[in-house]
């Protein structure tokens, strides 16, 4: 437990200077344990602490007993989320750095985090960096409007070690300044290209549709599940000199496309996606990188919504929504330590049912 507590060592207590009944680290550890056990808000934290007082007493002093739900609520509403985010980065460092791999960057809105009673209350929009191979959240930052996501991504990149890594992002974040920062930090990129770059998209589409590419090397995969057959075919072109003369895209060395064909018993669809690449990947490499990118949706955002019920959370007081979102990311990373062959939902249940399982998750990485 000391390993986790050490991650919070530089956190400043947001409460007043008068004597405090409950230790800062104890509040944080109880909150984290509650979230690991399926808790969602301050009331859940207080109820969890009452039910698990004997377990918590193993590693917490609890000199003044269990904090009330009002204590949890006030604490997380006042806690500076930037400080907690810095603690999260220290926490992630305990999992060890990887010298290669794919980092998927994407945003997710916490839809119930806005207060309809306030005229200028905006839902929190969390942007996360997801390590696809290790299935870990590496960093996060919050903004208050999806239209400003690209500015948030630029700040998020400053928190990451990019050397030897490929950064992926959707078309909203396919921007020159983002590409430039990734390359300047020693990373590579694979950015989805859509019609928000109308001229560049049209030229890439035309280039990859020329007859000479019909017989070029491609990579195809076919998956069949849930009554659906999906075929993906990827292709890469490195002849981008003319494109660069006209568009001067930072670090561009190749472009690629992925054709997705889906079929069910009643319907068949085909779509083509285009990508800007700073590394001349093979068609197989492009196909794998694009598939890995969707892990941020399937293994992070989906889990936050359906397993941790994040979208239904109505934590609207000041900094509460941001702080609890960071704690949920921390809990998900801790869950990745367990390699047992049970669903993630079952692991959250086990943490609430079995003290030994929860204790194992809290052991320093």
Q: Say what percent of the chain tops pLDDT 90.
A: 69
Q: Report pLDDT digits (tens) over 324-333.
A: 999 999 999 9
Is the pLDDT at 238 greater than 80, yes or no?
yes
d(CA 81, CA 11): 10
Whole-prediction pTM:
0.91
pLDDT at 118: 60
**Is the Cβ–Cβ distance between 193 and 274 less than 8 Å?**
yes
The chain-wide mean pLDDT, for the chain, equals: 89
Listed residue (242, 248, 249) closest to 207, CA to CA: 242
pLDDT band at 119 (very low <50, low <70, confident <90, very high): very low
d(CA 137, CA 140): 8
d(CA 219, CA 57): 56
Q: Using alpha carbons only, what angle is made at residue 131 by residues 230 and 352, rounded to the nearest 5 degrees?
A: 95
Listed residue (320, 341, 330) closest to 14, CA to CA: 320
d(CA 312, CA 325): 12
**Is the Cβ–Cβ distance between 153 and 177 less than 8 Å?**
no
Average pLDDT for 79-85:
95
pLDDT band at 99 (very low <50, low <70, confident <90, very high): very low
**How many CA atoms lie within 13 Å of 266's alpha carbon, on the beta-carbon side?**
0
**Is the Cβ–Cβ distance between 136 and 95 less than 8 Å?**
yes
Is the pLDDT at 365 greater than 60, yes or no?
no
Q: Say what percent of the chain tops pLDDT 70.
A: 92
pLDDT at 263: 87
**How many CA atoms lie within 13 Å of 175's alpha carbon, on the beta-carbon side?**
12
Q: Report pLDDT digits (tens) over 19-44.
A: 788 999 999 999 999 999 999 999 99
Domains of the chain, residue spans: 2-13+20-92+311-362
Listed residue (171, 169, 211, 199) closest to 187, CA to CA: 169
**Is the Cβ–Cβ distance between 131 and 98 less than 8 Å?**
yes
pLDDT at 96: 62
d(CA 32, CA 331): 7
> Mind giving me the DSSP string for 226-244?
TTEEEEEEEEEE---HHHH
Q: Report pLDDT digits (tens) over 184-232.
A: 999 999 999 999 999 999 999 999 988 766 556 788 999 887 778 989 9
């Amino acid at each position: 437990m000391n390993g986790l507590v050490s991650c919070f060592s530089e956190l400043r207590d947001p409460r007043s200077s008068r004597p405090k009944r409950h230790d800062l680290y104890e509040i944080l550890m109880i909150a984290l344990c509650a979230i690991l056990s399926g808790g969602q808000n301050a009331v859940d934290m207080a109820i969890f602490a009452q039910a698990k007082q004997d377990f918590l007493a193993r590693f917490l002093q609890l000199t003044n007993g269990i904090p009330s739900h009002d204590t949890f609520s006030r604490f997380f509403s006042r806690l500076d989320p930037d400080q907690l985010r810095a603690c999260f980065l220290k926490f992630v460092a305990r999992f060890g750095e990887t010298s290669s791999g794919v980092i998927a960057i994407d945003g997710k809105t916490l839809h119930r985090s806005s207060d309809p009673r306030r005229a200028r209350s905006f839902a929190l929009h969390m942007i996360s960096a997801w390590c696809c191979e290790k299935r870990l959240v590496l960093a996060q930052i919050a903004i208050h409007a999806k239209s400003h996501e690209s500015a948030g991504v630029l700040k998020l990149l400053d928190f990451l070690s990019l050397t030897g890594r490929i950064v992926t992002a959707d078309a909203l974040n396919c921007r020159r300044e983002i590409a430039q920062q990734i390359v300047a930090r020693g990373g590579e990129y694979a950015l989805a290209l859509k019609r928000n770059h109308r001229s560049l998209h049209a030229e890439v589409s035309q280039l990859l549709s020329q007859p000479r590419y019909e017989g070029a090397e491609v990579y195809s995969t076919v998956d069949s599940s849930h009554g659906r057959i999906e075929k993906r075919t990827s292709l890469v072109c490195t002849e981008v000199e003319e494109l660069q003369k006209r568009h001067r895209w930072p670090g561009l060395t190749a472009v690629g496309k992925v054709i997705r064909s889906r079929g069910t018993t009643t319907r068949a669809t085909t779509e083509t996606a285009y990508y800007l690449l700073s590394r001349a990947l093979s068609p197989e490499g492009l196909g794998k990188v694009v598939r890995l990118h969707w892990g941020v949706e399937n293994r992070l955002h989906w889990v936050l919504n359906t397993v941790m019920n994040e979208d239904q959370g109505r934590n609207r007081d000041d900094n509460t929504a941001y702080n609890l979102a960071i704690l949920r990311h921390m809990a998900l990373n801790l869950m990745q330590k367990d390699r047992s062959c049970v669903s993630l939902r079952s692991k959250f249940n086990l943490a609430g049912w079995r003290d030994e399982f929860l204790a194992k998750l809290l052991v320093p990485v």
